[in-house]
Structure 1
Amino acid sequence: MGTCAAPTCAAPPFAADSELQRDVRWQPHDLLRLSRLPSFDGEPDWVRTAFASAPFAVVRRAQSAPGYIAIGLRGNGRAQRYGTWAEVGDVEAAIAPEDLAVSLPADAERRALPAFALYAALRHEALYLDAFSWGPTGSAGFELVSGMPTVTATSDLDLLIRTPRTLSRERATQMLTELELHAQHAGIRVDVQLETPAGGIALAEWAAGKPRVMARHAQGPRLIADPWAVLATHA
């Protein structure tokens, strides 16, 4: 079913021997607006208040039984993260990171925060990203979708770049260098994940030239040499 990166996770609401799958209608990092949030034993106290304020959850990278989606909820601060499950019928809307490519907060004070200032700069100056579908995840993505002020003055900018075709190490290094220069100017870090056929990998790992990189997959993390090798095997 994949691992849960949140500090606390709800037990799956389906039998251990259920036939598992990943519903391709929703991808990891998509934000879902939910009409209802099921309650499970051990749920943290803050969850209901957070969901009432912003009924959104992020799609986790995990398999589930038909009718369920693995999701993550966020409250105030890094300690308030909860991995749980939604029912498919409760999904009202889905917003992918690339759907936010032209979004910025309406409030000028929020737009001036380093994470949003960096995002705006990348949108206008990072022409090398135009060849990809990409967008913000993490606190910036959540605020742009929910309207809740989750970005702080020290927040990193988390980005997802979809790379369905091979990204060379050389190009990855060039992209990372350019992105880090922008981030240094903003005074924060940029954390970039590539979405590949094998799962999510860190741009920094791929650019570093490591023989194998960690790919985060619905069936769990694994070390692989080529995140795009699956394309060759199915060609």
Structure 2
Amino acid sequence: MYLENLVVDAAEPRRLGRFWEAVVGGETLTDEPGVYETRLSIEGGPVLDLCFQRVPGSPPPPRLHVDLRGGSRQTEEVDRLLGLGARHLDVGQGDVPWVVLADPEGNPCCVMDERADHARTGPIAALPLDSADADRDARFWSWLTGWIRVPGRLPTLRHPSLRGPLLVLCPEPSPKGTAKNRLHLDVRLEDGDDPDDVAAGIIERGGRELRPDWGDLPWRIYADPSGNELCVLPAHS
């Protein structure tokens, strides 16, 4: 199994997808009215597809967001994003060394200050995910993705190449409600992976399978031990 997608619910997938493609320098994979996909390839490291799908409705408070690498060019990067359509956002962050912005649909993202652990991440420095038990969830996501634990102030995972974004498990400000996360992660099975064995492994590690009434889908939907939704996609044929 491997981490394949960062999926974002959007009112206007094409508009939001093109914004993020410009932000990360991605390569267009799908450009349709209801779906937009762009690929971020990290040299010597992982490939992450950013997928934008039409899902109407007001977004709940985010439990997963994007931290962008700013570093010594933080001010220039903030100005570039503002020019692309981002705006400043106050989430009560106070006096912090990073800059909080909102994308064109209001999803928070942060442009980070200079940090040694952001070396070789590429444009996305980190994917912070809310967790009720960060050590437990780090073990869960490490098993699910094959990413490894690396030093960090919070439990942190990274692709074994030690390139690409960090997956950071953050203490949740409040328990997960019933509303679906606006951003979630997809994992892809590889040849030889048994879907039922994977399902059993997810449940054994504290996750659970979700069965929404969305018709017959080729993937299976789960929640991690803290309730964050994720999808397990079939192996490529």
TM-score with structure 1 setting the length: 0.36
Q: When you count strand as a share of all residues, which structure comes out higher?
A: 2
Higher relative contact order (CA 8 A, sep 6+): 2
Q: When you count helix as a share of all residues, which structure comes out higher?
A: 1
TM-score with structure 2 setting the length: 0.35
Which of these two proteins has the greater Rg computed from alpha carbons? 1
